[in-house]
Structure 1
Amino acid sequence: MSNTFLRLSVLFVVLGVSLGYWMGATHNFIVSPVHAHINLLGWVSMFLYGLFYRVFPDAAAGWLPKVHLALAVIGLPVMMIGLTIQLLAIASLMPVVPILMIVGPTLVLLGMVAFAVIVFRATGGKPAAAVA
Protein backbone atom coordinates (compact mmCIF):
# COMPACT_ATOMS: atom_id res chain seq x y z
CA MET A 1 0.00 0.00 0.00
CA SER A 2 2.83 2.37 0.88
CA ASN A 3 4.68 1.83 -2.39
CA THR A 4 1.48 2.18 -4.41
CA PHE A 5 0.67 5.56 -2.90
CA LEU A 6 4.28 6.76 -3.13
CA ARG A 7 4.49 5.84 -6.80
CA LEU A 8 1.10 7.39 -7.59
CA SER A 9 2.15 10.58 -5.83
CA VAL A 10 5.20 10.87 -8.04
CA LEU A 11 3.07 10.40 -11.17
CA PHE A 12 0.71 13.11 -9.96
CA VAL A 13 3.54 15.55 -9.20
CA VAL A 14 4.95 15.05 -12.68
CA LEU A 15 1.48 15.74 -14.09
CA GLY A 16 0.90 18.74 -11.81
CA VAL A 17 4.29 20.31 -12.45
CA SER A 18 3.94 19.68 -16.19
CA LEU A 19 0.59 21.45 -16.15
CA GLY A 20 2.17 24.33 -14.23
CA TYR A 21 5.01 24.46 -16.75
CA TRP A 22 2.51 24.58 -19.62
CA MET A 23 0.53 27.34 -17.91
CA GLY A 24 3.68 29.41 -17.42
CA ALA A 25 4.87 28.86 -20.98
CA THR A 26 1.52 29.80 -22.51
CA HIS A 27 0.56 32.47 -19.94
CA ASN A 28 -2.80 30.71 -19.74
CA PHE A 29 -3.68 30.12 -16.10
CA ILE A 30 -7.35 29.23 -16.48
CA VAL A 31 -6.77 25.70 -15.18
CA SER A 32 -4.84 26.83 -12.09
CA PRO A 33 -7.38 25.16 -9.79
CA VAL A 34 -6.75 21.83 -11.55
CA HIS A 35 -2.99 22.33 -11.13
CA ALA A 36 -3.46 23.10 -7.42
CA HIS A 37 -5.71 20.09 -6.77
CA ILE A 38 -3.43 17.68 -8.62
CA ASN A 39 -0.47 18.89 -6.57
CA LEU A 40 -2.29 18.90 -3.23
CA LEU A 41 -4.49 15.81 -3.47
CA GLY A 42 -2.34 13.88 -5.91
CA TRP A 43 1.20 14.70 -4.86
CA VAL A 44 1.03 15.82 -1.23
CA SER A 45 -1.87 13.74 0.09
CA MET A 46 -0.90 10.54 -1.68
CA PHE A 47 2.73 10.94 -0.62
CA LEU A 48 1.60 11.40 2.98
CA TYR A 49 -0.65 8.35 2.70
CA GLY A 50 2.35 6.38 1.47
CA LEU A 51 4.51 7.58 4.35
CA PHE A 52 1.78 6.77 6.85
CA TYR A 53 1.41 3.23 5.55
CA ARG A 54 5.21 2.89 5.65
CA VAL A 55 5.34 3.92 9.32
CA PHE A 56 2.24 1.89 10.25
CA PRO A 57 2.49 -1.16 7.97
CA ASP A 58 -0.24 -3.05 9.86
CA ALA A 59 -2.67 -0.27 8.89
CA ALA A 60 -2.54 -1.53 5.29
CA ALA A 61 -4.19 -4.83 6.23
CA GLY A 62 -7.83 -5.55 5.52
CA TRP A 63 -10.40 -4.17 3.13
CA LEU A 64 -10.59 -0.54 4.28
CA PRO A 65 -7.13 0.49 3.00
CA LYS A 66 -8.01 -1.02 -0.38
CA VAL A 67 -11.20 1.03 -0.40
CA HIS A 68 -9.16 4.09 0.57
CA LEU A 69 -6.82 3.50 -2.36
CA ALA A 70 -9.66 2.98 -4.82
CA LEU A 71 -11.52 6.08 -3.67
CA ALA A 72 -8.38 8.24 -3.90
CA VAL A 73 -7.30 6.89 -7.27
CA ILE A 74 -10.73 7.20 -8.88
CA GLY A 75 -12.00 10.34 -7.15
CA LEU A 76 -9.19 12.74 -8.02
CA PRO A 77 -9.12 12.11 -11.80
CA VAL A 78 -12.91 12.22 -12.03
CA MET A 79 -12.96 15.52 -10.18
CA MET A 80 -10.07 16.96 -12.24
CA ILE A 81 -11.71 15.99 -15.53
CA GLY A 82 -14.95 17.67 -14.46
CA LEU A 83 -13.17 20.77 -13.22
CA THR A 84 -11.11 21.04 -16.41
CA ILE A 85 -14.21 20.79 -18.61
CA GLN A 86 -15.95 23.41 -16.48
CA LEU A 87 -13.03 25.84 -16.44
CA LEU A 88 -12.42 25.51 -20.18
CA ALA A 89 -16.18 25.74 -20.79
CA ILE A 90 -16.15 22.91 -23.33
CA ALA A 91 -19.75 23.27 -24.48
CA SER A 92 -20.19 19.75 -25.83
CA LEU A 93 -19.05 18.22 -22.53
CA MET A 94 -20.75 20.62 -20.09
CA PRO A 95 -23.70 18.25 -19.52
CA VAL A 96 -21.37 15.75 -17.77
CA VAL A 97 -19.84 18.35 -15.45
CA PRO A 98 -22.49 18.17 -12.71
CA ILE A 99 -22.17 14.40 -12.33
CA LEU A 100 -18.35 14.51 -12.45
CA MET A 101 -18.29 17.34 -9.91
CA ILE A 102 -20.57 15.41 -7.58
CA VAL A 103 -19.04 11.95 -7.97
CA GLY A 104 -15.36 12.99 -7.95
CA PRO A 105 -15.37 15.18 -4.83
CA THR A 106 -17.64 12.70 -3.04
CA LEU A 107 -15.18 9.89 -3.70
CA VAL A 108 -12.28 12.07 -2.53
CA LEU A 109 -14.16 12.97 0.65
CA LEU A 110 -15.07 9.35 1.33
CA GLY A 111 -11.42 8.42 0.78
CA MET A 112 -10.37 11.00 3.36
CA VAL A 113 -12.95 9.68 5.82
CA ALA A 114 -11.70 6.13 5.25
CA PHE A 115 -8.15 7.34 5.84
CA ALA A 116 -9.21 9.08 9.05
CA VAL A 117 -10.70 5.82 10.31
CA ILE A 118 -7.52 3.96 9.34
CA VAL A 119 -5.33 6.52 11.14
CA PHE A 120 -7.40 6.39 14.32
CA ARG A 121 -7.40 2.60 14.31
CA ALA A 122 -3.66 2.38 13.66
CA THR A 123 -2.62 5.02 16.18
CA GLY A 124 -4.85 3.96 19.05
CA GLY A 125 -2.08 3.56 21.60
CA LYS A 126 0.29 1.68 19.31
CA PRO A 127 3.87 2.83 18.71
CA ALA A 128 4.98 3.60 15.18
CA ALA A 129 7.20 1.06 13.41
CA ALA A 130 10.83 1.97 12.86
CA VAL A 131 11.50 3.03 9.30
CA ALA A 132 14.55 1.38 7.80
Structure 2
Amino acid sequence: MFVSNNFLRLGALSALVGMSLGVWMGANQDFVLRPVHAHINLLGFASMMLFGLFYRVFPAAGRGWLPMAHFVLSVIGFLILMPSLTLMLLGKPLFMPGMIASEIMLVASMALFVIIVFNATMAKDQSA
Protein backbone atom coordinates (compact mmCIF):
# COMPACT_ATOMS: atom_id res chain seq x y z
CA MET A 1 0.00 0.00 0.00
CA PHE A 2 3.02 2.31 0.40
CA VAL A 3 3.39 2.90 -3.34
CA SER A 4 -0.35 3.30 -3.92
CA ASN A 5 -0.90 5.69 -1.01
CA ASN A 6 2.07 7.86 -1.86
CA PHE A 7 1.21 8.09 -5.56
CA LEU A 8 -2.35 9.10 -4.57
CA ARG A 9 -1.10 11.72 -2.10
CA LEU A 10 1.35 13.21 -4.59
CA GLY A 11 -1.32 13.20 -7.27
CA ALA A 12 -3.70 15.16 -5.05
CA LEU A 13 -0.98 17.65 -4.12
CA SER A 14 -0.06 18.04 -7.79
CA ALA A 15 -3.69 18.83 -8.63
CA LEU A 16 -3.69 21.60 -6.03
CA VAL A 17 -0.39 23.04 -7.29
CA GLY A 18 -1.41 22.76 -10.96
CA MET A 19 -4.77 24.40 -10.37
CA SER A 20 -3.20 27.16 -8.29
CA LEU A 21 -0.69 27.88 -11.05
CA GLY A 22 -3.55 28.01 -13.55
CA VAL A 23 -5.48 30.49 -11.40
CA TRP A 24 -2.35 32.63 -10.99
CA MET A 25 -1.69 32.61 -14.75
CA GLY A 26 -5.29 33.57 -15.49
CA ALA A 27 -5.37 36.33 -12.88
CA ASN A 28 -2.17 37.83 -14.26
CA GLN A 29 -2.94 37.11 -17.92
CA ASP A 30 0.59 35.66 -18.12
CA PHE A 31 0.63 32.25 -19.76
CA VAL A 32 4.38 31.74 -20.23
CA LEU A 33 4.28 28.83 -17.78
CA ARG A 34 1.37 27.00 -19.42
CA PRO A 35 3.63 24.00 -20.30
CA VAL A 36 4.54 23.73 -16.61
CA HIS A 37 0.84 23.92 -15.70
CA ALA A 38 0.06 21.17 -18.23
CA HIS A 39 2.92 18.94 -17.06
CA ILE A 40 1.97 19.33 -13.39
CA ASN A 41 -1.61 18.35 -14.20
CA LEU A 42 -0.75 15.47 -16.55
CA LEU A 43 2.41 13.99 -15.03
CA GLY A 44 1.68 15.00 -11.47
CA PHE A 45 -2.06 14.70 -11.08
CA ALA A 46 -3.33 12.38 -13.81
CA SER A 47 -0.40 9.97 -14.03
CA MET A 48 0.30 9.71 -10.32
CA MET A 49 -3.37 9.25 -9.47
CA LEU A 50 -3.69 6.55 -12.11
CA PHE A 51 -0.53 4.84 -10.85
CA GLY A 52 -1.91 4.93 -7.32
CA LEU A 53 -5.29 3.56 -8.41
CA PHE A 54 -3.63 0.78 -10.42
CA TYR A 55 -1.60 -0.30 -7.40
CA ARG A 56 -4.80 -0.20 -5.32
CA VAL A 57 -6.61 -2.51 -7.76
CA PHE A 58 -3.58 -4.81 -8.07
CA PRO A 59 -2.05 -4.70 -4.57
CA ALA A 60 0.39 -7.53 -5.30
CA ALA A 61 1.86 -5.40 -8.11
CA GLY A 62 2.91 -2.82 -5.51
CA ARG A 63 5.28 -5.18 -3.70
CA GLY A 64 8.97 -5.61 -4.37
CA TRP A 65 11.74 -3.49 -5.81
CA LEU A 66 10.19 -2.82 -9.26
CA PRO A 67 7.25 -0.70 -8.04
CA MET A 68 9.58 1.09 -5.62
CA ALA A 69 11.94 1.89 -8.51
CA HIS A 70 8.92 3.08 -10.51
CA PHE A 71 7.86 5.34 -7.64
CA VAL A 72 11.34 6.78 -7.02
CA LEU A 73 12.03 7.47 -10.71
CA SER A 74 8.59 9.04 -11.19
CA VAL A 75 8.85 11.33 -8.19
CA ILE A 76 12.47 12.40 -8.66
CA GLY A 77 11.96 12.90 -12.39
CA PHE A 78 8.84 14.99 -11.77
CA LEU A 79 10.47 17.08 -9.02
CA ILE A 80 13.46 17.86 -11.22
CA LEU A 81 11.48 18.48 -14.42
CA MET A 82 9.05 21.06 -13.03
CA PRO A 83 11.59 23.66 -11.81
CA SER A 84 13.92 22.95 -14.76
CA LEU A 85 11.11 23.51 -17.26
CA THR A 86 10.01 26.63 -15.39
CA LEU A 87 13.50 28.12 -15.53
CA MET A 88 13.90 27.25 -19.20
CA LEU A 89 10.60 28.97 -20.05
CA LEU A 90 11.71 32.02 -18.06
CA GLY A 91 14.85 32.26 -20.21
CA LYS A 92 17.29 30.68 -17.74
CA PRO A 93 18.27 27.34 -19.31
CA LEU A 94 20.87 26.72 -16.59
CA PHE A 95 19.28 23.41 -15.60
CA MET A 96 18.86 22.02 -19.13
CA PRO A 97 20.98 18.94 -18.30
CA GLY A 98 18.75 18.30 -15.28
CA MET A 99 15.70 18.62 -17.46
CA ILE A 100 17.06 16.09 -19.93
CA ALA A 101 18.01 13.70 -17.12
CA SER A 102 14.54 14.05 -15.57
CA GLU A 103 12.86 13.27 -18.88
CA ILE A 104 14.96 10.11 -19.18
CA MET A 105 13.95 9.17 -15.62
CA LEU A 106 10.27 9.70 -16.43
CA VAL A 107 10.43 7.59 -19.58
CA ALA A 108 12.30 4.87 -17.65
CA SER A 109 9.64 5.00 -14.90
CA MET A 110 6.92 4.55 -17.52
CA ALA A 111 8.80 1.61 -19.04
CA LEU A 112 8.91 0.02 -15.58
CA PHE A 113 5.20 0.68 -15.18
CA VAL A 114 4.49 -1.05 -18.49
CA ILE A 115 6.38 -4.11 -17.24
CA ILE A 116 4.51 -4.00 -13.92
CA VAL A 117 1.11 -3.69 -15.66
CA PHE A 118 1.85 -6.56 -18.04
CA ASN A 119 3.07 -8.78 -15.20
CA ALA A 120 0.05 -7.99 -13.02
CA THR A 121 -2.54 -8.38 -15.76
CA MET A 122 -1.01 -11.54 -17.22
CA ALA A 123 -1.07 -13.13 -13.77
CA LYS A 124 -4.72 -12.07 -13.41
CA ASP A 125 -5.58 -13.49 -16.88
CA GLN A 126 -4.03 -16.86 -16.04
CA SER A 127 -5.94 -17.16 -12.75
CA ALA A 128 -9.30 -16.45 -14.43
TM-score for both structures, normalised by structure 1: 0.90
1:107 pairs, out of 105, 108, 122, with: 105
- Counterparts of 1:57 and 1:14 in 2: how far apart (Å)? 26
Deviation at 1:100, TM superposition (A): 1.6
Output the CA distance in 1 between the equivalents of 2:76 and 2:123: 32
* TM-align CA RMSD: 1.0
Q: Find 2:52's aligned residue among 34, 40, 50.
A: 50
Point out the more displaced range, 53-62 or 75-84.
75-84
How far did residue 125 of structure 1 move?
4.2
> What is the 5 A alignment of 1:14-25?
14-25=16-27
Give the structure with the larger helix fraction: 2
What is the letter of the counterpart of residue 46 of structure 1? M
Counterpart CA distance in 1 for 2:101 and 2:61 is: 26
Count how many residue pairs are aligned between Structure 1 and Structure 2: 123
Unaligned residue ranges in structure 1 (runs of 5+): 128-132
Aligned ranges for residues 1-132 of structure 1 at < 5 Å? 1-90=3-92, 94-97=93-96, 99-126=97-124
1:81/1:100 contact within 8 Å kept? no
List alignment gaps of at least 5 residues for structure 2. none
Contact 2:74–2:106 (CA under 8 A) maintained in structure 1: yes
| Equivalent pair of 2:88/2:95 in contact (CA under 8 Å) | no
Question: Match of 2:124, SS?
Answer: coil
In the alignment, is the contact (CA less than 8 A) between 2:87 and 2:94 conserved in 1?
Answer: no
